[in-house]
Structure 1
Amino acid sequence: MKVVLFCGGLGTRLREHSDTIPKPLVNIGVRPIVWHLMRYYAHFGHKDFVLALGYRGDMIREYFTKYDETLSNDFTMSEGGRKIELMQSDIHDWRITFVDTGLHANLGQRLLRVRKYLEGENEFMANYADGLTDLPLNDHIEQFRRSEAIASIMAVRTSQSFHCVQSEDDGTVTSMGRIAETEFWINAGFMCLRKEIFDHIEEGDELVEKPFDRLIAKRKLHVNRYSGFWQQMDTFRDKIMYDRMEGRGDCPWMVWKKK
């Protein structure tokens, strides 16, 4: 299955990095988060990627066109550096299509603009480019295929909690209480889609709003609730958390390293 990755957002809540580089290129260790995500999909055999580019898409193109295998693979150097022998390779069998989908386009419009690169695909995957998981992808796909849904998403319990406020019309608070993270699930991406999704997206639509509402009305949206690891890189705090996990070798999303 082809994998569409939405790489065009501005990343406004990660200003410490996204003022200079797009959020998909923010590093975890020596590789950017989008590489970790693509490596995850490749582990399960899905190596044909379509990158829907927007903000600083030129930097994402440059990163891959000047990709340096030696940064994340063991190698032997000889002849004064003129000969490099890699012990293994990351992306030699990946196919990556780079598509400019506009600076301010939403996800629905970005998906419409890469449609021509999905011709002949009865089903494909799509995802945000700023979150990682250890979700058993084959099981996720199989659940989707067994369903009659046009779209399937992964849902996780949020890692945050909120104070819920109820009030009267004049603003007087009548109750206030904490909603714990265990009480509701959120959309975490990792979408599986059938080609019929394009019949439900109109010009200007945001993918997970009106198109998904139309699927819900037809009982054609499926969810896979997952309680394992998932974490978005949405803020600088998330970036620090990922760096610390990588530094101590606690990287559950690196399913390719598990035996």
Structure 2
Amino acid sequence: MKVVLLAGGYGTRISEESQFRPKPMIEIGGKPILWHIMKEYLHYGFDEFIICAGYKQEYIKNYFAHYFLQASDISFDFRVEREKDHREIHTSSFEPWKVTVVDTGLDTMTGGRIKRIQPYVGDEPFLLTYGDGVCDVDIRRTVEFHRSHGKLVTMTAVKPEGRFGILDLDGDRIASFREKSKDDVGYINGGYMVVEPAIFGYIDGDDTTLERKPLETIADEGQLMAFKHNGFWQCMDTMRDREKLERLWASGEAPWKVWDK
């Protein structure tokens, strides 16, 4: 299965960083969060990626165009004749993945971006997620669950951590004050979806938001299934989110780091 990554939005809620580069290229531990997501998928055996780019899409293309050199120890010998290769590769440690970066437009909505990459996916099921969130979901089990029910779309359902404390009230008296837990909130769309190619027929064009009419219609038809994930999940909407992910990575205990190297 190919992996489709939505990476074309403006990222306005984290404009401190996104004014300089697309949100999926904001770094955690010196690597773009997009790289972290791709490493998750590679760990489960998925190595072909289609990136739906848009805002500052040239940044993503340049990153992968020079990725081999970034991952290599290399000597440049400019004393040799011009027609000879002046590069000598010593060691390389790059990932064995295929990456297709598609300019899906500057203001295209999420559904429209998916519609635009249809020629690259073809008539096959594919994996789909957003380029700004990481988790420790077992992607292989998600695919197995999708195949077991035979429906159109499987969506990973997660419970986000609460950001505010909870007041337990007994009338007007505060019985207790505690941190908000996952039990206090319902499931939300965590991305990490498995999608049948029939979804393209639910998308009209660039102005279509995937999470509105297409998925709402699919849900009404009983074709949208939830793979419940109660482990770690974190999106990177704000600088606070980025700082949290950075702290986890620096601690050496980042839950989404399921790969060995």
TM-score, normalised by the number of residues in structure 2: 0.84
Question: Are positions 1:85 and 2:90 aligned together?
Answer: yes
Q: The residue matched to 2:225 in structure 1 has which SS?
A: strand
2:47 corresponds in structure 1 to 47
1:182 corresponds in structure 2 to 183
Deviation at 1:148, TM superposition (A): 2.3
Deviation at 1:89, TM superposition (A): 2.5
Q: Output the aligned Cα RMSD.
A: 2.7
Amino acid at match of 1:9: G
2:128 corresponds in structure 1 to 126
1:146 corresponds in structure 2 to 148
Deviation at 1:68, TM superposition (A): 5.0
1:192 corresponds in structure 2 to 194
Q: Percent identity?
A: 36
Q: What are the equivalent positions in structure 2 for 1:232-247 lying under 5 Å apart? A: 232-247=235-250
Q: 1:96 to 1:78 in 2, by over 3 A?
A: closer
Q: What are the equivalent positions in structure 2 for 1:1-259 lying under 5 Å apart? A: 1-68=1-68, 83-86=88-91, 89-91=93-95, 93-121=96-124, 123-160=125-162, 181-183=182-184, 184-203=186-205, 204-257=207-260
Give the unaligned 5+ runs of structure 2: 78-86, 167-177
Q: Deviations over 1:232-252 (max 9, x none)?
A: 111001111111111111112
CA distance in 1 between partners of 2:10 and 2:75 (Å): 39
TM-score, normalised by the number of residues in structure 1: 0.85
Moved more, 152-161 or 124-133: 152-161
Count of aligned pairs between the two proteins: 243
Q: Deviations over 1:114-166 (max 9, x none)?
A: 01111142x101110000111111101100110121011111112125699xx
Give the unaligned 5+ runs of structure 1: 165-177
1:168 corresponds in structure 2 to none
CA distance in 2 between partners of 1:161 and 1:43 (Å): 31
Q: The residue matched to 1:255 in structure 2 has which SS?
A: coil
Alignment check: 8 A CA contact 1:69 1:89 kept: no
CA distance in 1 between partners of 2:229 and 2:69 (Å): 33
Q: The residue matched to 1:257 in structure 2 has which SS?
A: coil
Q: 1:241 to 1:53 in 2, by over 3 A?
A: same
The ranges of structure 1 where at least 4 consecutive aligned residues each deviate by more than 4 angstroms after the TM superposition are 68-71, 75-79, 161-164
Amino acid at match of 2:60: I
Q: The residue matched to 1:244 in structure 2 has which SS?
A: helix
Q: 1:53 to 1:161 in 2, by over 3 A?
A: same
Deviation at 1:227, TM superposition (A): 0.8
Moved more, 245-254 or 98-107: 245-254
Q: 1:17 to 1:68 in 2, by over 3 A?
A: farther
Alignment check: 8 A CA contact 2:160 2:234 kept: no
Q: The residue matched to 2:242 in structure 1 has which SS?
A: helix
CA distance in 2 between partners of 1:76 and 1:198 (Å): 44
Amino acid at match of 1:58: E
